[in-house]
Chain A
């Protein structure tokens, strides 16, 4: 055979133009930056989703109890306030390592101010919210709130905070929170008295606006604590649902188990189909100091 074939165009080589050298596609790299997932870390990561689903179900069962008069709105207000203080305390504990002293003090003043503001605003708005959807049939409200909760669960920010990371409010997480609050507003408008409306909205603010932020922070905690928290929250949600409906509880538990244990297994299994192709034709990433 004649001279060695080279991968160059500037020299005419005595091979036909359709000659495929043995080195053809030798620079192709498959799955170069691929780090396979393992099962248990994925289960741990899915805890955030489980927790979120649990809050939604706790909220819905609280609503049903309020509507059927099994639960006194006064008690719910007390529970909400209790949750708020517990949550705030744990937030402060987690925050201790973070920002400077003055900064935290300013944050505290802001938090007190805005919680008083929300408390008063909700109180004055609850008569309006109670009659908001009086002209709409209940069936539409159930469908609407179910859709909104679905949107909430799909778009929620399940990521955990990394060390030293700043909190980024992404558009989807804001949309998710709005969907959940809208769902609670339309549900609250089905209730009979103003105090119940107030109590439910207050609870929804705790569950859908404040809790996700806390959950984001919890990502820094040791995994045993996170697991324990998830188990407690799921058990509460199952317990409060079981006395209302057996069927719903079965379906809900199946979803919980599926999300926590089955979905990570599917992801781990599906990784064998991963085929990422890299080569010299990819757009390079410029490195600028």
Chain B
């Protein structure tokens, strides 16, 4: 593919850590490796991360001075981002923006504004949402509004795609028949297998079950609290190793106290992403009790580190691993217990080979392949014709009796605001970015600097 300039826009980025943050960084790094130019636009972070920073390998990050309101997301405000975005996109000669995460207001705003500059748009949805609570209804409508005019949508699993298509109303009418828009893609997440090299524990009778997760209700910690004493009572050679922190920590502590399991259930507290492997390789079974999961990268990491996986059958989890590497259970206590018993049997009989599992995962999910598939999406988007303003207005009006006109007004006001900015801050007066990071020049300078010292 011909190299292009891409801007990743998301509220969730380094220095915060998490699934989306890591995905955006890894995707950017791999796109740079393939010769594209990539920048990231995100909001500022406390205490002083604001302005332009560079990350290895030559990834430029714009930290816009917006303050996040809750869990690192900014307030949806529709217009305030436009002056910044316009300047950045023009300065950096961007061809395409790629917004991430459906709760990222910055990403949605990016999709809303980009067409004004003729920039193409791609959106990746990382999470699953329901349809029945007030928060979901509001955010779903907000998302449907922006996704009406997006050029392509990427989801991380097939279940995630079904969910996103319903939430974002991504249906199109082809000669009378309603079907899914053909610009909705499924591209899974990936991981760096070298970081999860297995290290089979010395043969011993003890079987360690590892749990690494945020200790919250949605992660099914209630199930863990219920099954841990049962498993410990049944198998005297089983230990639990729990990493993570959260509101349900207190329940785990109480369970440990009540059943006198201090020597068999170890609570590590929060584990940094760099230390995940060192925790994983201490065990031979990984337990995931999540109640909802769009992809489950933690499961993949564990499987890659050679652990046998036991998981609840929720969301996109059933899609990610072949049946012989994972045992499934319904989210109820008895079923999870049965699945763990099965797993203990498999592991103690030596029917699960960690090194072979690692080799398999290595070929299944690697960034090189994922980047290639993402590139194909960019290619298709760049080749497709761009919607003009009247088509955009028509599509926006389909949103509904109330939401349609509101979004159309926002669209028109946005155009007017853009015209105002064109007059007020003309393009001719801007400083364009002509130089980009040159690794060789940098190495040369670094060498010179060390010589003079």
Contacts and interface: CB of A to CB of B under 8 A. Distances in A.
Contacts of B334: 289
A276 B136 CA distance: 13
Contact of B292 (A12, A20, A25, A282): A282
Given A17-B187, A281-B292, A288 B223 contact: yes
Interface string A253-289: 0000000000000000000000011011111111111
A281 B160 contact: yes
B377 A286 contact: no
Interface stretch (A2-10, A91-99, A110-118, A126-134): A2-10
B376 A281 contact: no
A163 interface: no
B340 to A, nearest CB: 15
Contacts of B186: 9, 17-18
A24 interface: yes
Interface residues of B, number: 51
B331 A284 contact: yes
A280 B319 contact: no
A100 interface: no
A281 B163 contact: yes
B162 A28 contact: yes
A27 interface: yes
A11 to B, nearest CB: 8
A20 B294 CA distance: 18
Interface in A227-263: none
Contacts of B320: 8-10
Contacts of B364: 10-11
A168 to B, nearest CB: 23
Contacts of A287: 330-333
A286 B131 contact: no
Nearest to A7: B158
Contacts of B294: 281
Chain B CB within 10 Å, residue with most, of A25, A277, A288: A288
Interface in A68-115: none
B321 interface: yes
Contact of B183 (A18, A25, A27, A288): A18
A283 B220 CA distance: 10
B288 interface: no
Given A18-B182, A280-B159, A286 B319 contact: no
A281 B125 CA distance: 13
A279 B185 CA distance: 20
Interface in B320-347: 320-322, 330-334
B291 A283 contact: yes
Given A7-B319, A283-B130, A24 B331 contact: no
A283 B223 CA distance: 14
Contacts of B165: 25
B169 to A, nearest CB: 12
Contact of B226 (A277, A283, A284, A288): A288
Contacts of A17: 185-187, 373, 376-377
B428 interface: no
Given A9-B320, A10-B319, A17-B186, A288 B162 contact: no
Given A9-B188, A283-B292, A284-B291, A25 B162 contact: yes
B312 interface: yes
Given A27-B162, A28-B166, A288-B223, A281 B130 contact: yes
B333 A284 contact: no
A12 B364 CA distance: 8
A286 B373 contact: no
B222 interface: yes
Nearest to B184: A18
B274 to A, nearest CB: 26
Contacts of A10: 319-322, 364-365
A145 B315 CA distance: 53
Nearest to A275: B131
Interface in B160-209: 160, 162-163, 165-166, 179-180, 182-188
Contacts of A28: 162, 166
Contacts of A280: 159, 162, 314-315
B157 interface: yes
A281 B159 contact: yes
A277 B166 contact: yes
Contacts of A279: 159, 162-163, 166
Contacts of B377: 17
B218 interface: yes
Contacts of B129: 281
A27 B165 CA distance: 14
B64 interface: no
B128 interface: yes
B156 to A, nearest CB: 8
B148 to A, nearest CB: 18
Nearest to B130: A282
Contacts of B223: 286, 288
A254 B185 CA distance: 57
Nearest to B331: A284
User: Taking each of A10, A12, A25, A279, which has the highest tally of chain B beta carbons within 10 Å of its own beta carbon?
Assistant: A10
A251 to B, nearest CB: 32
Interface string A38-54: 00000000000000000
A18 B185 contact: yes
B159 A288 contact: no
B132 interface: yes
Interface in B119-172: 128-132, 157-160, 162-163, 165-166
A24 B161 CA distance: 9
Contacts of B321: 10
B132 A20 contact: no
Contacts of A25: 162, 165-166
Contacts of B226: 288-289
Contacts of A281: 128-130, 159-160, 162-163, 292, 294, 315
B158 A9 contact: yes
Given A7-B319, A281-B315, A276 B132 contact: yes
B322 A20 contact: no
Report, nearest first, the 8 A-B pairs whose CB atoms are least far apart.
Answer: A287-B332, A281-B128, A281-B163, A284-B331, A17-B185, A284-B291, A9-B188, A283-B292
17 contacts: A17-B187, A18-B182, A18-B183, A20-B179, A24-B162, A25-B166, A276-B131, A277-B131, A279-B162, A281-B128, A281-B129, A281-B162, A281-B163, A283-B130, A283-B292, A286-B222, A286-B289
